[in-house]
Structure 1
Amino acid sequence: MSLKDAPELTPEREEFYGRLDTRSLTPLWTVLHSVVTPEPKSDCRAHMWRYDDLRTFLVEAGSLITAKEAERRVLVLENPGLRGKTSITTDLYAGLQLVTPGERAPAHRHTQSALRLILEAEPGAHTTVNGERTQMSYGDFIITPPWGWHDHGNDSDAPVIWLDGLDLPMVSHFDASFAEEFGEDQQPVTRESGDSLARYAANMLPVGYDAGGQASPVFNYPYDRARGALEKLKAQAEIDPCQGIKLQYVNPIDGGPAMPTIATFLQLLPKSFKTAPYRSTDATVYVAVEGSGRSRVGDEAFDWGPRDIFVVPSWKEVVHEVADEAVLFSFSDRAAQQKLGLFRERRGNS
């Protein structure tokens, strides 16, 4: 017996297993090698989606169904190894959402945590979370906390498109999905834009604030601020061989991940930079925000440009290489894995 193989199947054992099956029983020793594996084993595959292709289909969807009728007009990015499971990785969901000029995506809330990375937006594109409205701009990372009311609107003359990332498969695994409609397309705006930044993102907190929540009370992390931080660090020339210059979006209350289950990152790859090999247990979704490059994932290689999306499965080695400077946004289930003591990484060729 080992963790790699099941014991030999004899006629006596087969007959015994058949009787067990009629009682909804399974002998562990026949399946142990497939559930307790020496290394991560996943149906998730490395894959890339070209933004130009996605946008073409999304615009066509906009001519076929309204945002209100669809509730959320989204094309799901289904991993080719997980078709039919509404998943981009084993426990995370991703999709591309469109709101056309003059539309409203109705207000609702759900137990799933959600992120949005804005890929196209003009002044007038906005989202409202728990009574506070914020404008959406390219590259902004925006959070919908669990059970937070949210709706989206577009008062500009151009489409607004963003990448959605949710822990939907994870919540479904726990049988803990709840959702509720607000009853109107838009919730009342009760706080001025920038209220959460003033309260929680200035190295201060309101007196008496209860820090018991898990999601960051800051729900819009503007791209220009994050990009400026990367630029400052680039001047210090402290380049990590596996990551370039990589920062994690955090909850300003406790310094932990900005979302309870999903970790989010922004990294700069300097001109002519090639990362050292890296692998980790958190299957990761990458989005090219600036520049272009090539990423080798296991035995596959993807040439990406602005807004292209690709996924690196758990424990698959990844190497990024760029000719000119590039910026990548990424998200994964690392936040959940770290809380559960599951996260591992391997740097370099060790």
Structure 2
Amino acid sequence: MTALVRDGYAGLLRPVLFRAHRGDPEAIHEDMIAALALLGSLPGARGLVGALTRSVGQPVTVAGVRFPGRVGLAAGMDKDGRAALAWQYLGFAFAELGTVTAHAQPGNDRPRVFRAAASAGLVNRMGFNNAGAQALANRLAVAGILRGNGAAGIPLGISLGKTKTTPLEEAVPDYLASFDQVAPHADYIAVNVSSPNTPGLRTLQDGDALGDLLGALSRRAQRQSPGSPVPIFVKLAPDLTWPQLDEVLGAAADGGAAGIIATNTTLARDGLAAPDRHLAHEEGGLSGAPLTARAREVVGYVTEHTTLPVIGSGGVMAPADAQALLDAGASLIQLYTGFIYAGPALIAAINEEVR
């Protein structure tokens, strides 16, 4: 079945998708999310898709959350949670929604997504375009999704970012406002301080700033759920030096973080194939195969220098890439660009590799 889904996606569906809307990746993405939102509302279609794509994962408990498998969806794919009920039917064992911000915002000007097809990569400078934390919370409430109740069929994380117009010195209350809205619906919270597409955001990875932010979020989580606060993960940039990573990991541990997500997209342009080198001058973060080696290095370093569990993300394009991140110490794996290029069969293939 995995081969059928793989060949059908690679030979039929992906070529059609990549040519749609004159090849505009963002417009294609919007159509995909709309289709998955519809799928989530149609029991018959869910059953058919699930029969084709579901596979048995390796269950694991991380930060107190029971995951039915190791392979999840990274943030950025379903910013507003429109397809929250559909991801389980594609084989994902968890999904991270968002990144959302306290206030709705349009993101950066289009075009802002560029497909580096020869390199199996993407460059994006989306800029946290989303309808806001309140809108996401409302959508999940209507769907009956609350922390720990399993209504989505899989655990859901929610990624939080800073509103672009919020000054950096007011970042803590901005993140807290988002947290208050969405935390009741999240099995874990991811704190995104590493996107390259919001001016100044990565400065929040500095030790003191990150410690203040995580401390405030951890105290709020404890007040919301005394004794069982929602776990908070920190998402790191792959472009940090080892001393910078040491500082971040210390702040994460001291601030009460429950885990690390490594990594976000990169500002580096290493690994772009010759046909894609014109994209080297496009602003934004690069993901996909050019990030594979660096993500593995960072995961290995992080797991050697902290006892916090790690979610490995970045450049997982094949089962071997996922296994390498697990071998480097990651507890879970997230897909984004690999899912776009390989489709749902990649999830099943990783599950087979891990088993």
- TM-score, scaled relative to structure 1: 0.30
Which has the larger share of strand? 1
- Of structures 1 and 2, the larger Rg is shown by 1
Which has the larger share of helix? 2
Which structure's relative contact order is higher, taking Cα pairs within 8 Å and 6+ residues apart?
2
